[in-house]
Amino acid sequence: MTAAPKILIALGGNMPSDAGAPEATLMSALYAMEHAGAQVHAVSEFYRTPCFPVGYGPDYVNAAAKITCDGEPDQVLAMLHDIEAQFGRERVQRWGRRTLDLDLVAVGDLTLPDQRIHAEWRNLPADQQTSAVPDQLILPHPRMQDRAFVLIPLCDIAPEWRHPILGHTVRQMVDALPSEAQKEVVRL
């Protein structure tokens, strides 16, 4: 029997929930994942990061987790969306204020749906990223390599995970970020 692939999750929030401040919400979301059947193997430090894009709301608290759970990637995503809803997440505005954001970043070395579609979303012009929403799951997350608030927490728990398309480890992707972007992600 093969072991279940490690699933990388990015966690974030910049508004309080019924669980409390964003830090408490992220901790509660990790417990909710376990309650839903996931095994949490590692959790990064928590970081304060500027809202992305700048000006869309208060600063975020971000983290990353490495989990395993049964089910296909779309079932894992559905579980994450259910947990977001438990903590008051409303999908009103893309990249808006939110109590909880759980992004499915990667499932082992799986690429979904294929490299061509992944490249289209990875190379989507910045002015279209706030309005364009894929109608299918794209893995690994198509812009993870550009986001310090995802990569720096991931580097705490999976520095040697290698992007199956780009060929770079998380550590290499962090090192490739502009130093200004790296400095914006501050450990709490």
Q: Is the per-residue pLDDT at 127 higher than 60?
A: yes
**C-alpha torsion 174→176→182→183, nearest 10:** 140
Residues 28 and 130: their CA atoms lie apart, in Å, by 28
DSSP class of 146: G
Could you read off the pLDDT of 135-148 as tens digits, one per residue?
789 999 999 999 99
| Backbone φ/ψ region at 89: left (φ over 0), alpha (ψ -120 to 50), beta | beta
Return the CATH number at 28. Answer: 3.30.70.560
Could you read off the pLDDT of 19-30 as tens digits, one per residue?
999 999 999 999
Residue 122 lies in domain: 7-127+135-187
- Count of domains observed in the chain: 1
Q: Is residue 2 part of a domain?
A: no
Q: Is residue 182 part of a domain?
A: yes
Could you read off the pLDDT of 141-188 as tens digits, one per residue?
999 999 999 999 999 999 999 999 999 999 999 999 999 999 999 999
Q: Is residue 114 part of a domain?
A: yes
Structure tokens at 27: 């901790």
Q: Is residue 140 part of a domain?
A: yes
